[in-house]
Amino acid sequence: MSDLKVIKKRSDNNLLEVDLDEAREDGRDLLERVIKGIVDYPESVAVSFSVGDKTTVYKVECDKKCLGQVIGSKGKNITGVRAVIAATLARKGIRAIVEIPYHIIET
């Protein structure tokens, strides 16, 4: 027989909010480290987040030169990063969205 794990929700809402804030900050740190590892100019990367009712939105700011590296071929890099962040924070009960900047190219 396999062992079953029982997951209990915490009854103290204040303690849960502190843990969620810490988890969101940990998610921001993870996202920033991953993006910095992908790009040529890691010093230009900054990640911020805003908290909604049920969702945390992470916004990645970077140099225009790094944008292609963040997105990757056919969007594979950003898709993978989004999957990792979403899965990591989903374990804590947080829905996460990763947004990247877009720049209009003037012709």
pLDDT at 37: 95
86 assigned to some structural domain: yes
Closest to 82 in 3D by CA, of 57, 61, 64, 65: 57
Q: Is position 8 within any domain?
A: no
Query: For residue 47, is it within any domain?
Result: yes
Instruction: Please give the model's pTM, rounded to 2 decimal places.
Output: 0.78
| 105 within some domain | no
Backbone φ/ψ region at 60: left (φ over 0), alpha (ψ -120 to 50), beta: beta
CATH number, residue 31: 3.30.300.20
* Residue 4, domain member (yes or no): no
The residue behind tokens 């908290």 is: 51
Structural domain contains residue 73: yes
| Cα–Cα nearest to 86, from 58, 51, 64, 59 | 58
Torsion, Cα 31 37 41 42, to 10 degrees, reads 50
User: Could you give the number of structural domains in the chain?
Assistant: 1
Residue 34 domain flag: yes
Tens digit of pLDDT for each residue in 46-103? 999 999 888 999 999 998 888 999 999 999 999 999 999 999 999 988 999 999 977 6
Which residues constitute the domain of residue 31? 13-99
Does 3 reside within a domain? no
Q: End-to-end alpha-carbon separation of the chain, Å?
A: 66
Q: Tell me the mean pLDDT in the region 32-59.
A: 93
Q: Which residues pair with 97 in a beta bridge?
A: 57
